[in-house]
């Protein structure tokens, strides 16, 4: 549990009051949000950004129902790549209510699929 404590604190502290800005996109569902105040850039052209994906209908991951996801991605804006750093799935909208599932770690760099939510988020984060 000690290993998970920093992770849960990272994803819960302060984000209830974050300034989530909707991202305009052609996607109907989910609605995507960015927290511009959370953007951290330690390497030029590689921002780390928190996002929320808010779904109109209940979704399911590994048998657990959820309505929203909050995640932190790192982007390589020059190469148009992203990787996940941490991810939580929540019962409530806008990453509220109980966390039903989580993942953490710096995953492999990936090219987003054309028209995917990941491509929309990369474009919004690398402006």
Q: Provide mean pLDDT across the span 65-77.
A: 97
What is the extent of the structural domain holding 88? 4-125
124 within 8 A of 107, measured Cβ to Cβ: no
Q: Is 46's pLDDT higher than 50? A: yes
Q: Provide mean pLDDT across the span 59-74.
A: 96
Can you give the CATH number for the domain in which 73 is found?
2.40.128.710
Residue 106, pLDDT score: 75
Q: Which of 11-15, 60-64, 102-106, 116-120 has the lowest mean pLDDT?
A: 11-15
Residue 17, pLDDT score: 52
Question: How many structural domains is the chain composed of?
Answer: 1
Q: Provide mean pLDDT across the span 93-99.
A: 95
Considering the entire predicted model, what is its pTM? Answer: 0.84
| Portion of the chain with pLDDT greater than 70, in percent | 87
From residue 85, give the alpha-carbon distance in Å to each of 25, 51, 65, 78: 23, 12, 22, 19
User: Pairing between strand 40-41 and 47-61?
Assistant: antiparallel
pLDDT bin (cut points 50, 70, 90) of residue 34 is very high
Residue 3, pLDDT score: 44
């Amino acid at each position: 549990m000690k290993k998970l404590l920093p992770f849960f604190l990272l994803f819960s502290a302060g984000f209830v009051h974050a300034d989530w800005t909707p991202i305009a996109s052609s996607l109907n569902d989910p609605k995507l949000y960015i927290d511009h105040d959370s953007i951290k850039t330690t390497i030029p052209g590689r921002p780390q950004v928190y996002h929320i994906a808010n779904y109109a209908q209940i979704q399911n991951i590994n048998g657990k129902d959820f309505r929203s996801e909050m995640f932190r991605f790192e982007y390589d804006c020059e190469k148009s790549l992203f990787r996940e750093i941490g991810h939580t799935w929540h019962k409530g909208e806008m990453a509220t209510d109980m966390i039903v599932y989580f993942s953490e770690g710096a995953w492999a760099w990936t090219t987003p699929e054309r028209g995917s939510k990941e491509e929309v988020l990369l474009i919004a984060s690398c402006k």
